[in-house]
């Protein structure tokens, strides 16, 4: 059975999120590898009393990258077959590239820390915002953003599923867009508790910094095709992969199209490789034919292996 592995991004992190994988020593080893690169203990952050540290963008990004890679390694160690396709939601794209042997894990850890720092520094604290718009057509959301911009930046940035879109930009413009979406009939339009307006034009300075780092990072042709967020396409040339990773910072995450692309290839069996079940929920909203197995702990790995073997 053909299947795809999907890697989640920021927002799926939680304290003790890797505790269910204690049966796999290489999970802890993977975190030790990443910690050695950064010079700080990522595993200890997950065991803290409060989520303050893991919710800081500069920590969240390497944590989620490492979690995705660790769970993928656990899957293979358990005897799981390699998928035929890979994709990752925003940051998850880096985990996908590591799984595809296109990007070395240590290099990915360095890149996502730099990516997070560049994103945080691109927009002053409090100047940017993001909001979730529920129950409104994409075209209406885009029209609301165009109306609300008034010379500022606000756009649809996470096209997650039909009726579930995230917008981002300057706070004042996002506030106007929330009201414009409500006026057009959105069921809900609520500001998100984030300080970095990801995937909008305000991230272009961050993309320029990331592009410089990518230029110095070795990349190889993926051994498994990776569908990239910005283009809903896979690449084998290093230059094309570097380009799409840089553009990803200021262009939308086209997740609805990504899942539709997989379905068009006849791939309706997906596996969410990371903490939580966010992508599983989105998959079912996008296409009822999609079945997503979430690898939330060691037992889930065993269950998914059995299900795919049927």
270 is catalytic: no
Question: Is 121 designated active site?
Answer: no
User: By CB neighbour count within 10 A (0-12 exposed, 13-18 middle, 19+ buried), where does 309 fall?
Assistant: exposed
Strand order from edge to edge, sheet including 291-294: 226-227, 85-88, 4-7, 269-272, 291-294
The one catalytic residue in 89, 199, 228, 270 is 199
Close Cβ partners of 17 (under 8 Å, ≥ 6 residues apart):
46, 67, 275, 276
Residue 80 CA to residue 73 CA, distance in Å, equals 9
Query: Which residue in this structure is represented by tokens 């042709």?
Result: 221
Active-site position among 12, 35, 90, 234: 90
Question: Annotated active-site positions, please?
Answer: 90, 199
């Amino acid at each position: 059975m053909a299947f795809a592995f999907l890697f989640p991004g920021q927002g799926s992190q939680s304290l003790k999120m890797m505790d269910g994988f204690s049966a796999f020593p290489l999970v802890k080893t993977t975190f030790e590898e990443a910690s050695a690169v950064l010079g700080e203990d990522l595993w200890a952050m997950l065991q803290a009393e409060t989520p303050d540290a893991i919710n800081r963008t500069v920590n969240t990004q390497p944590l989620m990258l490492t979690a995705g890679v660790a769970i993928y390694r656990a899957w293979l160690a358990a005897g799981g077959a390699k998928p035929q396709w890979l994709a990752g939601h925003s940051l998850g794209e880096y985990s996908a590239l590591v799984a595809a042997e296109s990007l070395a894990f240590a290099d990915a850890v360095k890149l996502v820390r730099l990516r997070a720092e560049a994103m945080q520094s691109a927009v002053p604290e409090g100047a940017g915002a993001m909001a979730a718009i529920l129950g409104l057509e994409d075209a209406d959301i885009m029209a609301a953003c165009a109306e609300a911009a008034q010379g500022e930046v606000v756009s649809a940035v996470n096209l997650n599923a039909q009726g579930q879109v995230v917008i981002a930009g300057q706070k004042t413009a996002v506030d106007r867009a929330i009201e414009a979406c409500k006026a057009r009939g959105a069921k809900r339009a609520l500001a998100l508790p984030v300080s970095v307006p990801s995937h909008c034009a305000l991230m272009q300075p961050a993309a320029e910094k990331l592009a410089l780092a990518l230029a110095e990072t070795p990349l190889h042709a993926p051994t498994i095709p990776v569908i990239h967020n910005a283009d809903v396409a896979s690449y084998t040339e290093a230059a094309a992969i570097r380009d799409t990773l840089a553009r990803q910072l200021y262009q939308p995450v086209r997740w609805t199209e990504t899942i539709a692309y997989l379905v068009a290839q006849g791939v309706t069996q997906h596996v969410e490789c990371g903490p939580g079940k966010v992508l599983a929920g989105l998959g079912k909203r996008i296409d009822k034919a999609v079945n997503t197995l979430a690898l939330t702990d060691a037992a889930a790995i065993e269950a998914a292996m059995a299900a795919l073997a049927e």
